[in-house]
Amino acid sequence: MKLAFIGAGRVGGALAVRLAEAGHSVVLAETKDGSSSLAQTLARSSKLRAAPIRDAVSGAEVVFLATPFAANEGIVVPLADALAGKILVDCTNPVGAGLSHGLESKRSGSEAVQALVPKTRVVKAFSIYGFENFEDPAYPGYGVKAAMLFCGDDAAAKTTVATLIADVGFEPVDVGALVQALHLEHMTLLWVRMVRGRGASPNIVWGALRR
């Protein structure tokens, strides 16, 4: 599958490397800020390449948005035409002061992104853990894979994203429409408060047990 990443920092870089190693064609978008993280991520895998942001997005089937949330509007709005009809995986989270929800829990960041690019199929995924679990999602000995909860309004888009989630090494768990993204963002805040705020081990994930 042809994938493009906008944002090649700790989250985007980890996912880009894993998906490239899984056999996907992965392009990292070159942004105006010339972030050093792009070069660092490119050095991690010979299977990655970089391209100007519009070229990267235009040539992709699925685009990953892995930037700081505050940068989203300035990035996606100019690309609205290139993103039309494509799947946009929103990995971002609006985080406010004191590790609060940056949009005051009035709506999710993913719904805000969808409103910016209404012709794009937004799916919220890869947002409930820190980058450590994207680097290595394996928890051997438990008999289950770490769960990756995701949501979106387009069924076909979610099917595609579920495949990518599995390719990274997680169990895909579809939790419903994009309105559920607010709850996933609160799960992210829960994880961040536990790990970054209180010093718990980052090696903690959620599991989906069924019987």
Asked if residue 53 has pLDDT above 80, the reply is yes
Q: Which amino acid is at 107?
A: R
Phi, psi dihedral angles at 67 (to 5 degrees): -105, 170
Instruction: Name the residue with higher pLDDT: 176 or 102.
Output: 176
User: Mean pLDDT across the chain, nearest whole number?
Assistant: 95
Nearest to 4 by CA among 32, 25, 21: 25
- Positive/negative CA dihedral, 205, 18, 92, 210: negative
Q: For 13-106, where are the E strands, in sequence order? A: 25-30, 48-52, 62-65, 87-90, 95-96, 100-101
Mean of the pLDDT values across residues 182-203?
95
Helix, strand, or coil (residue 25) = strand
What is the model's pLDDT at position 33? 63
Asked if residue 122 has pLDDT above 90, the reply is yes
Domain ranges of the chain: 2-197
Q: What is the pTM of this model?
A: 0.95
CATH number of 2-197: 3.40.50.720
% of residues, the chain, pLDDT over 90: 90
Mean of the pLDDT values across residues 30-36?
73
